[in-house]
Chain A
Amino acid sequence: GQQLNQSPQSMFIQEGEDVSMNCTSSSIFNTWLWYKQDPGEGPVLLIALYKAGELTSNGRLTAQFGITRKDSFLNISASIPSDVGIYFCAGLGGYNQGGKLIFGQGTELSVKP
């Protein structure tokens, strides 16, 4: 089945540093999304990308939809302690895929004050 590979699996950074994580797939997706999950909570949508090559920002977050439609990256600038959590990429195959999001394994981010 479809799988997404996220890297790195975990990151330990100093407050104020920039962060970059990415996601690759063997299959093409028509939509890429990035979610963040805090302990004991459900994932929360950060950014949605709908067009190949699209670059979108949301505050300190920037994400890109790869031109091949098989990858995406997420950057966080000037990290702060509340950025701690698990970041998931997710891909959606197309209109006929409905809500069948395929999630990556997650990147766990730790920020040292």
Chain B
Amino acid sequence: GAGVSQTPSNKVTEKGKYVELRCDPISGHTALYWYRQSLGQGPEFLIYFQGTGAADDSGLPNDRFFAVRPEGSVSTLKIQRTERGDSAVYLCASSFQGHTGELFFGEGSRLTVL
């Protein structure tokens, strides 16, 4: 497809389990971003990749959260030992180049931790 693709669209898991969320950006976009959105709030920055490297991971809340982009395209957000407070919609976005703020978002992966 032409847009940012995220899978799964919905994930229900139990507290303490490990979760992976995948993002397939728009072809040719070098910058990729992960945001987290709680109900009634704006998106909250987690991490930003330029190519394969994490250019800014200052938004990752703690060391249970980790993201990779090994070939500079698809990215995976990994959450270890999930907690109920991790429940949110995780949004991925890409842009042709960084530092413009002009992001193309996917539809998000809704994570529910029971």
Contacts and interface: CB of A to CB of B under 8 A. Distances in A.
Interface of A: 4, 31, 33, 40-45, 48, 88, 90, 92, 94-95, 97-106
Interface stretch (B11-19, B60-68, B74-82, B93-101): B93-101
Contacts of A90: 42, 101
Contact of A88 (B31, B43, B48, B56): B43
B100 A48 contact: yes
A88 B107 CA distance: 16
A31 B101 CA distance: 8
Interface of B: 4, 31, 33, 35, 40-45, 48, 50, 55-56, 58-59, 91, 93, 95, 98-108
Given A40-B107, A42-B105, A98 B42 contact: no
B107 A103 contact: no
B105 A101 contact: no
Given A43-B91, A99-B99, A103-B35, 8 more contacts: A33-B101, A48-B102, A99-B103, A101-B45, A101-B101, A103-B43, A105-B42, A106-B42
A100 B31 CA distance: 11
B57 to A, nearest CB: 10
A98 B99 contact: yes
A98 B48 CA distance: 8
A42 B108 CA distance: 6
